Structure 1
Amino acid sequence: MSSNLFKATVNEHLESLPESMQSRLYEAPATCLSIYRLLPPIAKFFIMSMLFSERPVLLRDLDKWCKPGTRKVQFESLKRLKSLHLVLEDKLGTYITLHPTFRKNFRACLTGSQQANAFGNLANDSADDNAGVTISFLDSFALNKWETILHFMVGTDSTPTPSASVLSLLRSGGLMETSASEDISGLRISNTGFQFLLQDSNAQIWTILLEYLKISEELNMDPVDVLNFIFILGSLELGKGYIVSSLSTTQQNMLADLKDYGLIYQKSSGSGKFYPTRLATTLTSDSVALKSPAMAIEDANNQADSDSAAAVAAAASTADSSSSSGSIILETNFKLYAYTNSPLEIAILNLFVQLKTRFANMVCGQVTRESIRKALYNGITSQQIIKFLETHAHPQLKILAREKLDKKIEFDTNNNINTAGGAPQSQQQRNEASASHRLEILPPTVVDQIKLWQLELDRIQTFEGYLFKDFASQQEYDVLSNYASEIGVLIWADKGKKKFFITEQGKSQVVDFANRKLQR
């Protein structure tokens, strides 16, 4: 799945916080760094451009900082910065400045002038204390804890029951629900839980952590303290131990729960040292959270020569069963083959694939209209299914897709050169030729059909927004509708009737633009 999914989820939560709580978050340098990592590229560019300048910036000057045609992403980035109150406007809405607390602490992060304990206090290395606590041990511990939760959700036989705190989160988050009985045996996966299983590991972890934040508020724990500790964990070094006594009381109370989720390892509840796992250190990055031997095999396969198909197939058949990465082959006839014996992956595939045959190290099935509709009724979207299949596609499929894409780009480049009379292409033209093509890991016919099966159910869509009409002239209509389209808030337009409809969030931007342009 795309890393944008978990970033969007976290940003939505941060944007919903009161301004006073956001300002308290910016008092922690590690939190400033983590929030910066979660921002889109243009938002990062705006921050870095203003970070070392104390002068306010004219709002209309932002258009000069970006290339033409980027108004949509510029609008979205500025909207996010305003929601997080990272940029503040003056009363007239003419100038913007960086939040002073954020500016101070983020600048301290980049220059290394933050407090010594801003990113945790490292414990003294001792051979006795660190015996057996290696990176591979931490990866194994985190993988075991996290997959125990996922196995329990899909109902894998002989799966140990997670701790009471984990079960409480699964219930309160709507990932699992109880039937007639209220005991553990009555818990079953919900529609939301089905969607949860198809997300990538980072998105799943943040889903759990955001639900933990809600529960912590009910337990009168300081949400800012909880969030700061989560963001600090994302900045710690994997394989290193950190002192428990340097944490606040709230943060020390969190350690037992975070150990149940696999985010930290602590030898005992009274130990004075804790170790962040890879699940924690990748919280705000694009890196893969769960690292297993099978992932290392896949990385090696991706670097191998494309002719070594036999080696790729052998690696797939011997891949560690604890990982669901890089094992799926989908054919144009909708047949699916998955080189796995993992009950977890098989259970997830069964959500949207009609499984027919199971071997020692492989399962076979068919993607059908009925299997996809069953998934759609359970709340899973076609895009989630496609992303899951792309993410877990066999390495050989990715190699072949890359070769096919390179050939298309080379063909278009040569064709354009011949059209131009043999004139060499500029780097921009080559980049445009590359951008016009998409890496097709899955067969396009299958992808399109899955989308069409969802469209059969999605006949009507509703949007909340504003209708603009009664324009004085056609030119006035064209100027505003084109601007709304450029910033990505236009939903519907009728040029003949001089009417268009925009999203609720885009109203203020379009009205401000109208006041500036039409008054001239």
Structure 2
Amino acid sequence: MPPRKRKASSAPAAKRKKTATGQSAAPAEAEAEIVSDLIVDPQEILLSTSSSIFEYLERLPPSTVRTIYALPSPRGPTVAAAVVRSSCLTDMARQCTLRLVTCGGSFKVQSIVEGWINRHGRKDALIALRRMEAMGIIEPTLGLATRPGEAAELEEADDTAKREKMLAKDAVLTPEFNEAMKLYLITSSSSPWPTVTNEQIALYKKTGEQEDGKPSRDPPSRRELEAHTQSQWDSVLHFLVGSDDSDRKGVNGIEEPNVAMVNFLTRIGLMQEDPDFTGKDRSRAPLVITSKGYEFMLRDTNAQVWQFVLQYLNSMAHHDLKDTIRKEALSFLICLGSCRIGEGYFSSVLGSKSARVLMKDFARFGLLFVCRVAGKTAFYPTRVAVNLVASNEKGGSRQSDALLPSVAATRSLEEAMNAPDPTRSHLAVISYKRLPNVVFFHLTRDSIKSAFRLGVTADQILRFLQVHAHPMMRSGNQPMPPANVRDQILLWDRERRRVVMDEVWVHQCRDDAEFSAVGMYASDSEALAWGNAHTNKLYLQCDSGSFQMEAPPYDLSTYLTGLTGDHLEAKGEEGPRERKKHSDLDRDCDMLRSAATASVRIFGSYKPQVSLHLQQTRSIVNVASRPSDLVGNTPLIDLQKILKSRGVDVSNGVKLYGKLESLGPCSSVKDRLGRSMIDDAEAKGLLTPGESVLVEPTSGNTGIALAFIARERGYKCILTMPETMSVERRMMLMSLGAEVVLTPKETAVPGALAKAKEIVAGLPEGKGIILQQFENEANVRIHRETTGPEIWKDTDGLIDIFVSGVGTGGTVSGVSQFIKPLKPDMKTVAVEPMEQMLITAAKGGEKIGEQGPHKIQGMGAGLVPAVLDLDIIDEVVPIHSDEAADMANELWMIGLPVGISSGAIVAAATKVCERDEAAGKMVVCVIPSFGERYFTHPMFSEIKNAAESLEKQPLPEPFDNREYGFATERG
């Protein structure tokens, strides 16, 4: 077991370290690494920030909520009734729900709005119907439902035609909710399960019948339930703040939490290994509270309990059965909210094994008291479990509904007087006589500043003191906390910002020349903090280290050569310091080595011989292990020049940025798609290197990406494409080892698809595979998991409008599916060729002009892709091929070599920026590919002709090659 650090009682609480009995920090660290994987699913991100159980339900898709209603009695009916009583519904929605249940489950919307509600509340009626639809209570036929975070206004209500159409529909209860509510209304018992009765207990005592021979006990009293929960939470809270052993096992009898709970605290980030631990064996590193743990301590008690439950649910995000476990847990918790404190239930009523596992897990949180009663395992809900649902207040309960009403350890005066330690005896007597529900503590400068270092603010501390003050103190006219306490905490906070200390390396130069050279190099590297020309000392900035390092006043080459791999001694103001190990060696002397190298480069005075160890241990960064690792992480480019050249008024704050997918390894956005589809097929076991043949209909860039990945991983690749694709693309594909098969231009992509299927049919069974870029979910997923998060991060979440072309539909769908749950008011604009407006038609719009072949390669595939999420697209902007070519040429003029599809997208984005509603908005568009690939395209015909017509120019006479380094007169 790792040793526990012991510190004086005056030490900051946040730095007291501990490790639970039998607990090694290494397994906890491993679990933390597993659970801390980035949750990229927007739905999971939304759920992970819920502040109450009903807000969690609100953020689930209506279809998932409906499956919870459909759970067998008592879970489904209890959840349905709890939703009706909760803040998920407005009062009007609650009334409408109950009336629909008693009126057969169906009623015309017009009758509801005009018959049940007066004319002043009709807008509220539509809001009520919206909430009912969002919670899966009525069928989604009205088109009103929104999820949390979406705009609350009903713009549709202002549209007379849409309003009339909606009023003509019926509001129909979903079958799951209707059946659940009927079952609940006809149930006579208010308890979800049969309770453990006194008759059953008496019969057991009389007959002695038991399941497995284990002893039973009497049912716990209310006081015992309160004490159980108090002890569970006290152990957690004391463990977090680092109470000493003497405190933890003293008069209050507080024990350390079990190993499972310590693992959980580490996994959810409330505790971590001590970053200051210097021992060799990291498995013995003690645990310390984190910034997140400190914030947890300052929350209301109900919020603390929900945080534990929420992190428990979040830990299932990567579980294969996460939906099933989530439904079990939510229904179980809501059923507990309908129980009475003091009533017990046999575990057999839970039915499933997973529910019994949840029972044991919730018991660790103090939600349940599990014991054997009447020869069977039973569970008793505590006040915590009941309040978690019954309080129904987002962000935590009121202080009056706090976790526990204080269950202080009641000790007799005689026991207190007989305590062996006089000091403890005195404190025990004071505690015995003190007011109930009062806790005495003192704040010190060290403890407050330790909280500041962990990220806790002065306002949070003051709010905590105010919320947890005794009611008698809050009842007077004096401020709470007292003015002197408040002022002192604020002064300690401001004290941190009076002086800022920066750590530096101190380098002693041997002469003025070295001082000048190294100083210049350090200044250029932004590493120079200060220099003293009189002493030839340079003070260099450093990222880490707790001492000043002073180079000896002799030749730097000798100094650097003399460094060994075993240690590096550092000297500070207080004398020799500890030796640095291998992992720190390169970091510590890297700046000195660079400075010495700079001095040699400038003056050529000597050549330092860097030791072999230093050369071998230098870390190499930003190196990819294989070419496909370079895919993604492309930057944004400011396109304000384009807006200005097009006469767009940028003074209104509109901003346009382009995501340069042309900077990928194969210069197009399809690099992501190619890697994603092959990774997905490999994960499913569909590909075998050296045997499998990739066959794909492609317009070019997807084929290049597939050929690129296939060559890297050893697959044969056959690509079919329309004959209109440029020669450069064909050359690129063939250079990457792909076999290219051309199809007639009249048949477009469908013809290429037919040819691909024909090729696969001619191969041995199971050898050929069509990845189906137009139907493959990996197409959308890669943009949801990479492109979307990149744009969100690079714009700091400020993106307002996203503009993308529609080729396969993966980019526009995936990016929007990631960002819209985080920012529901973001607008998605799709771009397609004006000559082929299939997406517009699919969205119910009208086509413009003559329809037929177009010249925008990479867009307008002649079909509506199956992976395209039409519902997420807010607007479709058609762009003519000529307009796209003009914009592409304009982008070349500002130094961006792009293709015609990029021209189409930027042209559409420019049109969006011209609108009045774009004022102050940030517009991001995708620049999908590099322009050099399109040189045979008609958009380059003029410059191609000009290049071909160039004539050589005569040289000045006489001309002698020897003047230019050639060996002969004419070369």
How high is the TM-score relative to the length of structure 1? 0.56
Instruction: Identify if the C-alpha distance between structure 1 residues 382 and 82 changes in structure 2 by more than 3 Å, giving closer, same or farther.
Output: farther
Q: Which runs of 5+ in 1 are unaligned?
A: 1-5, 296-313, 328-338, 357-369, 405-439, 468-488, 491-496, 504-520
Higher CA-based Rg: 2
1:245 to 348, 360, 384: 348
Q: Is the 8 A contact 2:191 2:338 kept in 1?
A: no
The equivalences for 1:88-237 within 5 A come to 88-91=139-142, 93=144, 94=166, 99-106=174-181, 108-109=183-184, 111=185, 113-114=186-187, 119-125=192-198, 126=201, 131=218, 133-158=220-245, 159=248, 160-179=255-274, 183=283, 186-216=286-316, 218=319, 220=321, 222-237=325-340
Q: Compute the displacement of 1:179 (Å).
A: 3.7
The percentage of aligned residue pairs carrying the same residue is: 22
Alpha-carbon spacing, 1:37–1:442, altered in 2? closer, same or farther (3 Å): farther
Structure 2: how far apart are the matches of 1:247 and 1:380? 42
- CA gap of 1:273–1:441, structure 2 versus 1, over 3 A, is same
Structure 2 CA distance for partners of 1:238 and 1:117, relative to 1, 3 Å: closer
3-state SS in 1 of match to 2:388: coil
Alpha carbons of structure 1 residues 184 and 273: separation in structure 2 relative to 1, 3 Å? farther
Q: Is contact 2:136–2:174 with CA below 8 Å preserved after alignment?
A: yes
Q: What CA deviation, in whole Å up to 9, does each residue of 1:269-306 have, x standing for no partner?
A: 984222112121221123333122469xxxxxxxxxxx
Give the superposed CA RMSD: 4.9
> Mean Cα displacement is larger for which, 79-88 or 249-258?
79-88
Is the CA contact 1:36–1:44 (under 8 Å) kept in the aligned structure 2? no
Secondary structure, counterpart of 2:389 in structure 1? coil
Q: Which contiguous aligned blocks of 4+ residues in structure 1 show a shift greater than 6 angstroms? A: 64-71, 73-80, 115-118, 314-317, 497-503
- Give the structure with the higher percent helix: 1
* Matching residue of 1:24: 67
| Partner AA of 1:267 in structure 2 | C
The equivalences for 1:468-487 within 5 A come to none
Q: Check if 1:392 corresponds to 2:468.
A: yes
2:81 equivalent in structure 1: 33
1:278 aligns with 2:383: yes
Query: 2:118 and 2:453 mapped to 1: Cα distance?
Result: 43
Contact 2:227 2:407 in 1 (8 A): no
Q: Structure 1, residues 410-463: CA drift from partner, whole Å, max 9, x if none?
A: xxxxxxxxxxxxxxxxxxxxxxxxxxxxxx86679969x97xx89x99xxx977
Shift in CA distance, 92/242, structure 1 to aligned 2, threshold 3 Å: closer
Aligned-partner SS, 1:55 = strand
Distance 1:146 1:393 in 2: 20
Q: Distance in 2 between matches of 1:203 and 1:76?
A: 28
1:134 Cα offset (Å): 0.5
Q: Residue by residue, what CA displacement relative to the aligned partner does 1:141-193 show, whole Å, maximum 9, x if unpaired? A: 11001111111111111243322321232122222222466657532212211
Q: Deviations over 1:86-105 (max 9, x none)?
A: 45543554366654433442
Cα distance between partner residues in 1 of 2:460 and 2:238 = 20
Q: Please state how far the C-alpha of 1:194 moved relative to its aligned partner.
A: 1.2
Q: 1:384 to 1:61 in 2, by over 3 A?
A: farther
Deviation at 1:196, TM superposition (A): 0.9
Q: Is the 8 A contact 1:29 1:114 kept in 2?
A: no
Structure 2: distance between partners of 1:123 and 1:256: 19
Q: How far apart, CA to CA, are the structure 1 residues paired with 2:121 and 2:482?
A: 31
Q: Which runs of 5+ in 2 are unaligned?
A: 1-48, 71-75, 101-105, 145-165, 206-215, 249-254, 276-280, 392-400, 410-429, 498-794, 802-823, 826-915, 923-971
Equivalence for 2:403: 289
Please state how far the C-alpha of 1:256 moved relative to its aligned partner.
2.4
Matched AA of 2:94: I
* 1:199–1:384 Cα contact (<8 Å) kept: no
2:434 is aligned with 1:318: yes
Q: How does 1:68-79 map to 2 (within 5 A)?
A: none
Task: Tell me if structure 1 keeps the 8 A contact 2:333–2:389.
Answer: no
Q: Within 2, Cα distance between the matches of 1:315 and 1:69?
A: 57
Judge conservation of contact 1:22–1:84 (CA < 8 Å) in 2.
yes
2:433, 2:920 → 1: CA distance? 53
Q: Deviations over 1:187-242 (max 9, x none)?
A: 22122111111112211111111222233563846321122112212211111111
Q: Equivalents in 2 of 1:46, 1:386: separation in Å? A: 39
User: Matches of 1:195 and 1:66 in 2, distance apart?
Assistant: 47
Residues 197/184 of structure 1: CA separation in 2 closer, same or farther (3 Å cut): farther
Counterpart amino acid of residue 328 in structure 2: D
Task: Deviation per CA, 1:452-502: give whole Å up to 9, x if none.
Answer: x89x99xxx9774759xxxxxxxxxxxxxxxxxxxxx99xxxxxx999879
Shift of 1:138: 0.8
Q: Does 1:261 align with 2:336?
A: no
Give the TM-score, by structure 2 length.
0.32
Classify 1:8/1:209 alpha carbon distance in 2 versus 1 (closer, same or farther; 3 Å): closer
CA contact (8 A) 1:30 1:118 kept: no
Q: Residues of 2 paired with 1:66 and 1:185: CA distance?
A: 67
In the alignment, is the contact (CA less than 8 A) between 2:346 and 2:376 conserved in 1? no
1:49 corresponds to which residue? 96
Task: Look up the equivalent residue of 1:232 and give its one-letter code.
Answer: C
Distance 1:75 1:319, change over 3 A: farther
Distance 1:500 1:265 in 2: 59
Change in Cα spacing, 1:35 to 1:318, as seen in structure 2 (3 Å) is farther
Within a 5 Å distance, the mapping from 1:381-420 to structure 2 comes to 384-400=460-476
8 Å contact kept, 2:342–2:380? yes
Alpha carbons of structure 1 residues 143 and 46: separation in structure 2 relative to 1, 3 Å: same
Aligned partners of 2:796 and 2:121: how far apart in 1? 28
Tell me if structure 2 keeps the 8 A contact 1:199–1:388: yes
